[in-house]
Amino acid sequence: MEEQLAYALITPYSLYKSRTGGIIGRLLAHARLEFVAARMYVFSDAFVDAYQKIICPSGTDPAIRQAWHRYIDESLRQQNPWGYLPRCALM
């Protein structure tokens, strides 16, 4: 059987609302996955900039690109409108 790797990023809002257990439960229940590791991160601005380039490659529709950039800027940057430290869980 061929091995494939995947990741899941649980956003700061989902962590704040205590939805982590439900998200992990659904991931493991609906797919044949082997849980390997989980880590908590607060991303640097340089990482967020690189992530935006990967999520929105050059051929992306401008409206979609703008929506993703706004969401990522408001949700994952340390300087955000809500003033909290945006921790993410990466699995």
| φ, ψ dihedrals at 43, nearest 5° | -80, 145
The first and second tokens of residue 31, run together, are 């797919």
Domain of 33 in residue numbering reads as: 9-90
Domain count, the chain: 1
Residue 70 lies in a domain: yes
- pTM for this model (two decimals): 0.74
Would you give per-residue pLDDT tens digits along the chain (91 residues)? 688 888 888 988 888 888 988 988 888 887 778 888 999 999 999 999 999 888 888 888 999 999 999 999 988 998 888 788 899 999 8
In the sheet that holds 88-90, the strands lie side by side as 9-10, 88-90, 39-41
Q: In this structure, is residue 4 part of a structural domain?
A: no
Inside any domain, residue 77: yes
DSSP state of 25: H
- The pLDDT of residue 1: 61
15 found inside a domain: yes
Kindly list the distances between the CA atom of residue 87 and the CA atoms of 26, 44, 56, in Å, as whole numbers in the listed order.
21, 11, 22
Q: Residue 90: phi, psi to the nearest 5?
A: -115, 125
Predicted pLDDT at 43: 92
Tell me what pLDDT residue 27 has.
Answer: 85
Residue 2 belongs to a domain? no
In a domain, 1, yes or no: no
